[in-house]
């Protein structure tokens, strides 16, 4: 059995993994830079080690991290998401040093991280993909010829991209000529490789993804789908499981499709197969994420399966605990990414000290977070500081529970996306359960919200004024 795990990450996902370790009786080791000295994951872990003064570099040095895992007596490493989670080098170094990597093999990470190789693998497996190039583009002229063949609009994408970066939509030849070098530049800077490809743009699709888990004994199952259509500039904001937009027949079809995709590449551990659903109800493979997803919580909530614990068991060589016909979903779950951003100021990051924080509670409410009263959110990382997950038996109830929980969740000292999410949940189109990836752009009026003053603060202000008047 794995006895000690180094968590090669920070923030709320590090806390999430540490909690899973605690329940399994496994010791956890945290890493942190000077900027994260007071972070919650450092306080929660059994051991914690400083990896340098630079806020970011330490989290990206695979060799140093694995050396620390060996030196601290760990027998496994969990990469979380972001940083090195989809970097095959980290998995390779773990293998060479005798550390179990809690994720798929380096070969699969490399294959699915290359969008061209991923498309080729899916085509071979009979998985539908959007029309486009099945090789890296040579130059802008080849891009122009292909765009004219498949028809505008098209998407220029970094072959090794991810996280919504290195993507440009082109609605005309002028757009293509203007954006080609930009995407090449973004790909080079963000991912270290200039390769790009082109594919047909599915306009305002539904973004549906399927959680899959495979073991080293040839078993592979899915844990149903998540709807990630509420997003801004290819960055997800709200995630829902299961999708309120699919029929049971579609749900069964896409689940089997995802399992076939995973088996086609010999996938082991937890991963996500992402699809686009167009207006003609046609599913297209988009990409496969070879790691734990930010939104894994909604899947856990509707199935009752701890995905992180399953990851650890699989990395330890154990077979899956469940067969496909033993997996069931109940009710709806919704996750809100609580970002330290100001939606009314172009979603500008709002880093700083949290002067007060009140967590929501009650039935069907879960918070995965890394913030607390007095914590200073550093400006060097992603702006997400917590995830609020709510569950209820039906769609209407989960929307109402989401509104109530967002009202309960009070964060002072920094701006957050909480008030914006409340406007989304009040919107009739969203409440109907029928929306697509164009929702945010189609409803700019939702940004014009009024921040309501919480009742307890009003009461406190009246009490203070009364005390001053009475000379208390």
pLDDT tens-digit map of 178-234:
999 999 999 998 888 899 999 999 999 999 999 999 999 999 999 999 999 999 998
The alpha carbon of residue 211 and the mean position of all alpha carbons in its chain are separated, in whole angstroms, by 12
The answer to whether domain 131-200 has CATH 3.40.50.880 is no
Query: Which pLDDT tens digit goes with each residue over 364-402?
Result: 999 999 999 999 999 999 999 999 999 999 999 999 999
- Residue 190's pLDDT is 84
- Residue 194's pLDDT is 92
16, 110, 251, 291: which one is catalytic?
291
- Residue 163's pLDDT is 66
With CA atoms as reference, report the closest residue to 411 among 368, 371, 459. Answer: 371
Q: Domain 4-102, what fold?
A: Rossmann fold (3.40.50)
CATH number belonging to domain 209-447:
3.30.470.20
Mean pLDDT of 292-320: 98
Mean pLDDT of 169-174: 96
Asked if 242 and 225 count as a contact pair (C-beta separation under 8 A), the reply is yes
Place 462 in a pLDDT band, splitting at 50, 70 and 90: low
Query: Which pLDDT tens digit goes with each residue over 26-46?
Result: 999 999 999 999 999 999 999
Answer whether 4-102 and 131-200 agree in fold.
no
Say if residue 169's pLDDT is above 60. yes
Mean pLDDT of 420-433: 98
* Distance between CA atoms of residues 75 and 114, nearest Å: 29
Mean pLDDT of 55-61: 97
Enumerate the H helices of 31-150 as residue ranges.
Answer: 40-44, 62-71, 88-96, 106-113, 115-125, 140-150
Domain boundaries, the chain: 4-102, 131-200, 209-447
Say if residue 458's pLDDT is above 60. no
- Residue 351's pLDDT is 94
Say if residue 85's pLDDT is above 60. yes
Helices (H) and strands (E) in the chain, counts: 16, 22
Query: Which pLDDT tens digit goes with each residue over 88-134?
Result: 999 999 999 999 999 999 999 999 999 999 999 999 999 999 999 98
Q: Which residues contact 200 (CB under 8 A, 6 or more apart)?
A: 130, 131, 132, 150, 151, 154, 155
Catalytic (active site) residue 291: yes
pTM (2 decimals)? 0.92
């Amino acid at each position: 059995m794995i006895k000690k795990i180094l968590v090669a990450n920070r923030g709320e996902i590090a806390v999430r993994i540490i909690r899973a370790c605690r329940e399994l009786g496994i010791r956890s080791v945290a890493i942190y830079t000077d900027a994260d000295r007071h972070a919650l994951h450092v306080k929660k872990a059994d051991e914690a080690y400083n990896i340098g003064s630079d806020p970011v570099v330490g989290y990206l040095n695979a060799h140093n991290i694995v050396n620390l895992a060996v030196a601290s007596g760990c027998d496994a490493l969990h990469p979380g998401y972001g940083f090195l989670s989809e970097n095959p080098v980290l998995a390779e170094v773990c293998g060479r040093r005798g550390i179990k990597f809690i994720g798929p093999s380096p070969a699969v990470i490399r294959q699915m991280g290359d969008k061209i190789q991923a498309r080729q693998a899916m085509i071979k497996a009979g998985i539908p993909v959007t029309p486009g190039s099945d090789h890296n583009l040579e130059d802008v002229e080849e891009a122009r010829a292909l765009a004219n063949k498949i028809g505008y609009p098209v998407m220029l994408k970094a072959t090794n991209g991810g996280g919504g970066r290195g993507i440009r939509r082109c609605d005309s030849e002028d757009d293509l000529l203007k954006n080609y070098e930009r995407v090449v530049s973004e790909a080079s800077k963000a991912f270290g490789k200039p390769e790009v490809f082109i594919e047909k743009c599915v306009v305002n699709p539904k973004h549906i993804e399927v959680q899959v888990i495979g073991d080293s004994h040839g078993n592979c199952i899915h844990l149903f789908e998540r709807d990630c259509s509420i997003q801004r500039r290819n960055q997800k904001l709200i995630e829902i499981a299961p999708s309120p937009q699919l029929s049971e027949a579609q749900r069964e079809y896409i689940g089997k499709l995802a399992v076939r995709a995973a088996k086609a590449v010999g996938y082991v551990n937890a991963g996500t197969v992402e699809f686009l659903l167009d207006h003609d109800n046609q599913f297209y493979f988009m990409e496969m994420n070879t790691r734990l997803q930010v939104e894994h919580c909604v899947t856990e909530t509707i199935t009752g399966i701890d995905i992180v614990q399953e990851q650890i068991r699989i990395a330890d060589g154990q077979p899956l605990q469940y067969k496909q016909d033993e997996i069931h979903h109940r009710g709806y779950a919704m996750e809100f990414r609580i970002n330290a951003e100001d939606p009314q100021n172009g979603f500008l990051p709002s880093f700083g000290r949290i002067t007060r924080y009140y967590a929501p509670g009650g039935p069907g409410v879960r918070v995965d977070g890394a913030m607390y009263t007095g914590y200073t959110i550093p400006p060097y990382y992603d702006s997400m500081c917590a995830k609020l997950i709510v569950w209820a038996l039906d769609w209407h109830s989960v929307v109402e529970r989401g509104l109530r929980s967002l009202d309960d969740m009070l964060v002072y000292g920094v701006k957050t996306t909480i008030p914006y999410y409340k406007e989304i949940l009040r919107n009739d189109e969203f409440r109907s359960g029928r929306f697509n990836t164009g929702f945010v752009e189609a409803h700019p009026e939702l940004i014009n919200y009024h921040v309501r003053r919480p009742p307890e603060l009003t009461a406190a202000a009246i009490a203070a004024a009364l005390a001053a008047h009475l000379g208390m």
